[in-house]
């Protein structure tokens, strides 16, 4: 028996049983976490009691609807509220039973009438559980004090973002990130982990060897910084704050008034200081400051030169790739391809929709455009346009059709419905619409391969061309685009 069926029996009341598997015992151990992240999705409504089960989504919580009248039928099922012929809710019955605010919440989620009621993991867009999302929920639930403490601290994200954007080797970026995160094995950090050791700096004998000390304030570090000619702060590097010192060197690294040959090598200064410290601590090797500077300059110049050569080569490849653009691909022989364009204007809740049908030679048979209003999200816009396109293809008697679309979520949900339970209603509606075709395929299309239909749809939202129409061939104002795509597809 799978987890879904056990949840259906009353997940919160289930026990280990006589011979529980390791997997089932693990599931029960995480039951509290699952119950926090699971919510019911309405399919045919037969397993949901209207007044007893939590099936109405109120912000982030699920609950039964509020009572409008004192008298109620406690055996009423959600299935009794569904208008099956219209594949939606019975609006008159909802008005009789529920408060207006609950009616709005119910109407916002159409039932997937062709499926049983189902479970959705609400922390993923797909509705499918993942370890990553489960870990995030568990951490947010069990580590509230740690999260609260972290939010009160000044954020290091700005410094870390600058570190990842430096022109230096990836290993040095990782090292600098570790330095900012306090993840280097210096005496002071090791002592906080319970290790008993000499916390003094092995170079200068300073009482506490911190990351800031090794990289900025140690006598050896100060000599190297001075010989590098890197501008020092007016009052010297901070003795207490490594973050202030990092902020300073990063700002100088981006200062156009400082010669680039002086400002650019600073990541290598920090890296070589750390490497020299490790070699001295572990192997007893000593390094002169002058030799250290020569190594820093040599390593930095060699890496920067190699990167400039690679950049020129990458630019050459990029220029070549631009000549080979992604173009529209025709369907197989005896098939037609319907490209769907969608443009949603959020401030007006208006959608421009279009479709273009082409044969295996790239010739445009038909195209159409129309406007939809009162569309409140991209998901609703894509679904509405897709359903309109399927209805149009059936009306024009296409039997073998490829639907090409730009929305990866809806395309994935259609092709892998079990992995996208939160799209059960959309999949149910589309499967019902697609079953009239002899054969059909739904594919994901990039904007560059769907440019014509998108521009037609955009004419509604950008230029207020709201008139709906169906026409043969392609629009005259996009003649060059469709002709060039037909030529490229035949190559």
**What is the per-residue pLDDT for 327?**
79
- Residue 191: its pLDDT value, please? 87
pLDDT of residue 489: 60
Q: Taking the CA of residue 35 as centre, how many other CA atoms within 13 Å lie in the half-sphere pointing to its CB?
A: 12
pLDDT score of 316 = 62
Helix axes 242-253, 157-164, angle to 10 degrees: 40
pLDDT of 426 over the 70 cut: yes
Question: 94 or 5, which is more confident?
Answer: 94
Q: What is the pLDDT of residue 2?
A: 40
Measure CA 58 to chain center: 25
What is the Cα–Cα distance from 320 to 326, expressed in whole angstroms? 13
| Confidence at residue 156, expressed as pLDDT on a 0 to 100 scale | 81
Angle between helices 451-463 and 479-489 (to 10 degrees): 160
What's the pLDDT at 3? 45
Contacts of 435 (CB under 8 A, 6+ apart): none
Residue that has been written with the tokens 């987890």 in this structure: 3
Mean pLDDT of 249-255: 89
Quick one: pLDDT at residue 284?
87
Q: Please give the structure tokens belonging to residue 418.
A: 């079990």
Closest listed residue to residue 276, CA positions, set 299, 243, 250: 299
Q: Measure Cα distances from 355 to 296, 343, 392 in Å.
A: 60, 12, 9
**Tokens (6 digits) for 168:** 């230096």
Asked if pLDDT for residue 61 goes beyond 60, the answer is yes
- Residue 328 or residue 339, greater confidence: 339
d(CA 37, CA 61): 10
Contact 122, 37 (CB under 8 A): yes
Which is it for strands 56-58 and 61-63: parallel, antiparallel or unpaired?
antiparallel
Name the CATH superfamily housing domain 336-489.
Ribonuclease H-like superfamily/Ribonuclease H (3.30.420.10)
Percentage of the chain beyond pLDDT 90 is 58
What pLDDT is attached to residue 269?
Answer: 94
The band of 154, judged by pLDDT with boundaries at 50, 70 and 90, is low
Mean pLDDT of 336-365: 96
Query: What are the E-state strand segments in 173-314?
Result: none
CB contact set of 94 (below 8 Å; sequence gap of 6+): 81, 103, 106, 107
- E-only strand ranges, 64-115: 82-83, 88-89
Residue 400 sits at φ, ψ, to 5 deg, of -115, 110
**Which tens digits make up the pLDDT trace of 469-486?**
999 999 999 999 999 888
Q: Note the Cα 466 to chain centre separation in Å.
A: 33
Q: Which residues contact 149 (CB under 8 A, 6 or more apart)?
A: none
Looking at residue 141, its pLDDT comes to: 81
Cα gap 337→398, rounded to integer Å? 10
Token reading at 57: 């989504």
193-241 residue pLDDT tens: 888 888 888 888 777 889 999 999 999 999 999 999 999 898 899 988 9
Q: Which pTM was predicted?
A: 0.65
User: CATH 3.30.420.10: which residues of the chain?
Assistant: 336-489
Give me the pLDDT at residue 309, please. Answer: 65
Rounded distance, CA 491 to CA 488, Å? Answer: 5
Q: Please say if the pLDDT value at position 467 is more than 90.
A: yes
Question: For residue 490, is pLDDT > 60?
Answer: no
- What is the arithmetic mean of pLDDT over 266-274? 94
- 249 contacts 266 by C-beta, under 8 angstroms: yes
Output the pLDDT for position 59.
79
The pLDDT value given to residue 5: 45
- Contact criterion met (CB below 8 Å) for 76 and 82: no
What's the number of CA atoms in the CB half-sphere (13 Å) around residue 444? Answer: 10
Strands (E), 100-205: 118-121
pLDDT at 342: 97
- What pLDDT digit, counting tens, does each position of 14-38 carry? 677 778 888 888 777 777 777 778 8
Q: Beta strand 400-405 with 336-345: parallel, antiparallel or unpaired?
A: parallel
Stronger pLDDT, 275 or 311, i.e. the higher one? 275
Kind and range of the H or E element at 296?
helix 289-323
């Amino acid at each position: 028996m799978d987890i879904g069926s056990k949840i259906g029996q009353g997940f919160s009341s289930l026990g280990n049983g006589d011979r529980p598997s390791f997997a089932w015992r693990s599931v029960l151990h995480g039951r509290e976490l699952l119950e926090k992240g699971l919510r019911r999705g309405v399919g045919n409504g037969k397993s949901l009691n209207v007044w007893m089960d939590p099936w109405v989504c109120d912000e982030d919580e699920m609950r039964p609807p509020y009572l409008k009248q004192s008298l109620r039928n406690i055996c009423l099922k959600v299935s009794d509220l569904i208008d099956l012929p219209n594949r939606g809710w019975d609006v008159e019955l909802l008005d009789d039973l529920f408060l207006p605010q609950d009616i709005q919440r119910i109407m916002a989620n159409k039932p997937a009438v062709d499926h049983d009621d189902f479970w959705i993991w609400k922390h993923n867009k797909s509705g499918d559980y993942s370890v990553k999302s489960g870990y995030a929920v568990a951490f947010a639930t069990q580590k509230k004090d740690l999260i609260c403490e972290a939010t009160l601290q000044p954020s290091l994200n700005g410094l870390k973002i600058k570190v990842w954007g430096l022109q230096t080797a990836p290993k040095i970026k990782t090292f600098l990130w570790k330095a900012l995160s306090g993840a280097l094995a210096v005496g002071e950090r090791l002592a906080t982990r319970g290790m008993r050791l000499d916390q003094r700096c092995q170079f200068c004998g300073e009482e506490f060897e911190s990351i800031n000390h090794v990289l900025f304030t140690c006598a050896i570090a100060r000599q190297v910084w001075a010989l590098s000619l890197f501008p020092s702060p007016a009052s010297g590097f901070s003795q207490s704050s490594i973050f202030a010192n990092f902020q300073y060197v990063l700002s100088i690294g981006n200062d156009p008034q400082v010669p680039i040959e002086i400002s650019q090598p600073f990541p290598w200064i920090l890296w070589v200081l750390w490497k020299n410290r490790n070699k001295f601590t572990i192997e007893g090797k000593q390094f002169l400051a002058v030799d250290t500077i020569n190594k820093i300059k040599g390593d930095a110049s060699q890496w920067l030169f190699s990167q400039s050569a690679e950049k020129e080569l990458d630019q050459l490849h990029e220029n070549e790739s631009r000549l080979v653009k992604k173009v529209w691909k025709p369907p197989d022989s005896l098939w037609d391809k319907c490209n769907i364009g969608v443009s949603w204007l959020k401030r007006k809740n208006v959608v421009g929709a279009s479709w273009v049908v082409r044969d295996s030679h790239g010739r445009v048979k038909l195209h159409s455009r129309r406007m939809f209003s009162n569309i409140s999200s991209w998901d609703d816009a894509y679904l509405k346009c897709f359903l309109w396109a399927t209805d149009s293809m059936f009306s024009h008697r296409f039997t073998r059709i490829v639907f090409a679309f730009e929305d990866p979520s809806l395309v994935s949900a259609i092709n892998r419905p079990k992995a996208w339970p939160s799209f059960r209603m959309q999949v149910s509606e589309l499967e019902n619409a697609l079953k009239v075709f002899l054969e059909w395929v739904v594919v994901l299309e990039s904007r560059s391969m769907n440019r014509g239909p998108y521009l037609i749809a955009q004419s509604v939202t950008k230029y207020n061309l709201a008139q709906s129409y169906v026409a043969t061939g392609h629009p005259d104002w996009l003649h060059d685009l469709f002709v060039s795509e037909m030529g490229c597809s035949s190559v």
